[in-house]
Amino acid sequence: MSAITADQTNVFPRLLDLAYPSIERGEGVRLYTTDGFEVLDACSGGAMVACLGYGNEEIVEAARRQSEQISYMYFHHFTNELQERLARRLTDEVIPEMARVRFVSGGSEANEMALRLIRQYHVDRGEPQRTRIVTQAQAYHGALFGALSLTGRQSLQSPYEPYLTAHGHIPPSTRRFDPSGQAALDELDRLIAEGGADSIAAFFCEPVSAAALPAYCPPAAFWEGLAERRERHGFLVCFDEVVTGMGRTGSWFAGQALPIEPDVVTGGKGLGAGYFPLAATFCTQAVYDAIAGGSREFEHGHTWDGAPLSCATGLAVLDFMQAHGLVERVRERGPALRDELEAAVGGFDIVREVRGAGFLLGVELVDPRDGESLLPDELDAAALVDDVAFEHGLLVTSTHSNADGYTGDQTLLAPAFVSTDEELGEMVERFAATIADVDARLKEALA
Ligand code: PLP
């Protein structure tokens, strides 16, 4: 398979020492390189986006028709029927806990919009001193500076710290550190006490983690403790559902399965399903009312917000998901998929845990010598898994975040919701072959 290196392109690549295969087309859940190599996609395009697979004619047709009529006008001057309809349908049928939505183009933008909304809410209620945000340390909220400030991972924040806001970060309540969730609540209490309860603007988190800690969700006791503290101290809770929104974990939004209702929610990837950039920031009626009864302005936006083409695509995605019962499919099929993955790879010495939430799955790798410690950093097992998977014609996404101390190497699988049972079986099979190879290679390297 051919691949393009940094010295063969005018593109500024992400990693200058990596050669990038060039994808020419996609069909269903398969990608094809320009030289005809087939890759089975177990990660919805690699970034958990293409949840309906590739080449969906109904969505392509809806986008084509809308482009003929009108693809773009500026949200600053106009609204349009597509934006109105998508907003109504999402808040009626998908996330009825939320009353209002602002459409943007990407997940980082949605989180930045949420930050603005949180700030505006407190200012309009006469509490401008509420500036601090607390987040989970092991998370990913985006690449823009506001979103990166929320992402409490030193490995990602460096060397941009001078541009970032210092928020508080609590440790994840994983099996390894805090199975009960109490240590996380204690740290939250410490951060609240540190600046005073009325300095906290919001708690911001992924209700079910994606790339940073795939398919991890804190225990119920943590959510109950968070809800009680919100009530007592008056901050907001914001869920980043850029990955988990739109069915990924088996409910429309992952937070709907938790014993707490957020005040602000962001969504992204699955909203446009890879057919057009589309993301959104939602809020409850109470958050909206604070601004409606205050400054009556939420004057912030981007060029493509609420454009007819992005919203028409979002409506077609929603239609398709509802018509084909895809959220129900993910909810019903997800647990068995996790079990099949566990049966296929759980026996290898390098695999410690297989987690699953719908079609979001995580495989934690450990040192095979004791079956528990994180793998030595320099082995970069995550990159090895992705490379070997590719050799087996499989796309998965692994992360390597030992530097943060909370997790080691992990692999994320996030198949498209339209994957058939045969395709899911093939993904599990190719992943098991990948892990068998990686297990052998790592043992050799460690010997
Ligand atoms: N939030 C989460 C949970 C994400 O996983 C991502 C991207 O992977 C983002 C936010 C940022 O989204 P985007 O890359 O579209 O800006």
The atom of ligand 1 lying closest to the CA of 142 is 11
Confirm whether pTM is higher than 0.85.
Answer: yes
Four-way CATH pick for 3-55+325-446: 3.30.420.40, 3.90.1150.10, 1.20.210.10, 3.40.50.620: 3.90.1150.10
| Nearest protein CA to atom 10 of ligand 1, as residue | 141
Which residues have CB under 6 Å of ligand 1? Answer: 47, 106-108, 111, 140-143, 206, 210-211, 240, 242-243, 268
Strands of the sheet with 132-136, listed across from one edge: 100-104, 279-283, 264-267, 236-241, 200-205, 132-136, 168-170
Q: 242, 310, 397: which to mutate for ligand 1, most atoms within 8 A of CB?
A: 242
pLDDT in tens, 282-337: 999 999 999 999 999 999 899 999 999 999 999 999 999 999 999 999 999 999 99
Helix orientation angle between 81-89 and 308-323, rounded to the nearest 10 degrees: 40
- Percent of the chain predicted with pLDDT > 90: 96
* CA 355 – ligand 1 centroid, Å: 20
pLDDT bracket for residue 155 (50, 70, 90): confident
The residues that bridge with 236 in the sheet, in sequence order, are 202
Distance of alpha carbon 48 from alpha carbon 253, whole angstroms: 15
CA-nearest residue for atom 1, ligand 1, is 141
| Interval 197-216 mean pLDDT | 96
Residue 377: phi and psi, rounded to 5, are -50, -45
For domain 58-323, the CATH architecture is 3-Layer(aba) Sandwich (3.40)
CA of 429 to the centre of ligand 1 (A): 29
Residue of 104, 140, 241 to test ligand 1 pocket, by largest number of atoms within 8 Å of CB: 140
Residue 87 has pLDDT above 80, yes or no: yes
Is residue 232 scored above 90 in pLDDT?
yes
Q: What is the pLDDT of residue 29?
A: 98
Atom of ligand 1 nearest to the CA of 209: 3
Residue 426 and residue 422: Cα distance in Å, rounded? 6
pLDDT of residue 125: 98
Q: What's the confidence (pLDDT) of residue 154?
A: 87
pLDDT for 330 equals 98
Confidence of residue 53 (pLDDT cuts 50, 70, 90): very high
Q: Please report the pLDDT score of residue 1 as a whole number.
A: 76
- Reported as a single tens digit per residue, the pLDDT across 413-428 is 999 999 999 999 999 9
The pLDDT, as a whole number, for residue 402 is: 67
Rg for the chain (alpha carbons), in Å? 22
In the chain, where does the domain assigned CATH 3.40.640.10 lie?
58-323
For 6-39, write each residue's pLDDT tens digit.
999 999 999 999 999 999 999 999 999 999 999 9
Average pLDDT over residues 226-245: 98
Give span(s): CATH 3.90.1150.10, the chain. Answer: 3-55+325-446
Q: Could you read off the pLDDT of 348-407 as tens digits, one per residue?
A: 999 999 999 999 999 999 999 999 999 999 999 999 999 999 999 999 999 987 667 788
